Amino acid sequence: MGPFFALISLSCLGMLLGCQLPQDWRPQTESCRAELAEIIVFAKVLALHKDSYSVYNYLPWQYDTDLFYSAEIEMLCDQAWGSMLEVPAGSRFNVTGLGYFPCYSYSVVENNAYYFFLRMDENYNIVPHGVNFQDPIFTDTAENRRMFASLFQFANCSSGTPIETYTPDWEFQEDSRLLCSTVQKALFEEEERVKTLSQKVRSLEKANNHLRDKVKKMKRSIQQAKKESKQEALLIKQQREKEKAVKQDTSKDHLKKPLKKIISNKLKK
């Protein structure tokens, strides 16, 4: 039960820590990843061996060796060309760096055959080649056989291995085939260009909306100023009318006073 609970703890911690992939990460097809893999073999797992603490299984619980292991494999077929692994058919070697990790697991079962994407590290250890942070180990199924047969052929196969082998015609077909990884890289670059342009458009739209808001505020300010100006003009007009009325009343009073004086003087005489 110990490994089971350790695996549950590992999965929970993996969810808490999260898998930090590059921001521009995109999934790649198996055909594209196969073009980038250093070594591709079809091999049978003969035995599993527990691994001690190493750079491949660095985790807080590195002393729990039930989670990490290496596999002794027998090579049934090698890729036809371009492989960095030059060993005869039937060779046996170890693949290390297998086990359960926070973001993924590289796991195999004894006595089963698999297609492996592998690479050789600086210390000449054979380790899984997780091209584009995706699974580099494929089970031996009819679907995977058809997939790999459509991508390339294998050579240097052990007798009796049920897999399509290398022929000279295949090399001509491979040379004339447009590399999927190149096409996908161009697509990714175009996607990034579109993404950059979209960001610029969003930025311009934001600036345009800001200008629109500014224009609306200015229009409201002008309308308010016009309204206040009209009110002020009306008040001035009303004030002038009042002043005019007062002046008229004052002039009437002045005319009445002399007339009263004349009448009073005549009466006295």
Is residue 74 within 8 A of residue 44, CB to CB? The reply is: yes
212 located within any domain: yes
The letter for the amino acid at 140 is: D
The reported pLDDT for the residue numbered 115 is 94
Q: Are residues 52 and 34 in the same domain?
A: yes
The answer to whether 105 touches 99, Cβ cutoff 8 Å, is yes
CATH classification at residue 166: 2.40.50.120
Q: Is residue 265 part of a domain?
A: no
Is the CB of residue 181 less than 8 Å from the CB of residue 109? no
What pLDDT sits at residue 43? 93
Residue the block writes with tokens 């061996």:
49
Which residues of the chain carry a pLDDT beneath 70? 1-19, 52-66, 80-84, 102, 164-188, 191, 249, 251-269
Has residue 263 been placed in a domain? Answer: no
Task: Count up the domains in the chain and report the number.
Answer: 2
CA distance 69 to 47: 10
In the chain, what is the greatest distance between 2 CA atoms, to the nearest angstrom? 162
pLDDT value at residue 129: 92
Residues 132 and 185 in one domain: no
Asked whether residue 43 falls in the same domain as residue 84, the answer is: yes
pLDDT at 188: 66
160 and 184 share one domain: no
Q: Looking at the structure, tell me whether residues 169 and 215 fall in a common domain.
A: no
Q: What's the rounded Cα separation, in Å, for the pair 258 and 255?
A: 6
- DSSP state string for 163-187: S-B--HHHHHHHHHSPPHHHHHHHH
Helices (H), the chain: 2-17, 30-36, 142-151, 168-176, 180-268
C-alpha to C-alpha distance for 269 and 266, rounded to whole angstroms = 5
Tokens 């600036």 sit on residue: 207
pLDDT for position 26: 81
Where in the sequence is the domain holding 54, given as residue range(s)?
Answer: 2-19+28-177
Strand partners, 78: 41, 155
Residues 159 and 84 in one domain: yes
268 assigned to some structural domain: no
Q: What is the pLDDT of residue 137?
A: 96
Give domain status of residue 258, yes or no: no
pLDDT of residue 169: 59
Residues 168, 134 share a domain: yes
Q: In terms of domains, do 231 and 171 share one? A: no
User: What separation in angstroms does the CA of 196 have from each of 25, 188, 190, 191, 206?
Assistant: 16, 12, 10, 9, 15
165 and 198 part of one domain: no
For residues 24 and 87, give the distance between their C-alpha atoms in angstroms, rounded to a whole number.
Answer: 37
162 and 34 part of one domain:
yes
Q: Examine the domain organization and report whether 133 and 90 are in the same domain.
A: yes
Domain annotation covers residue 260? no
Taking a C-beta distance cutoff of 8 angstroms, is the pair 126, 78 a contact? no
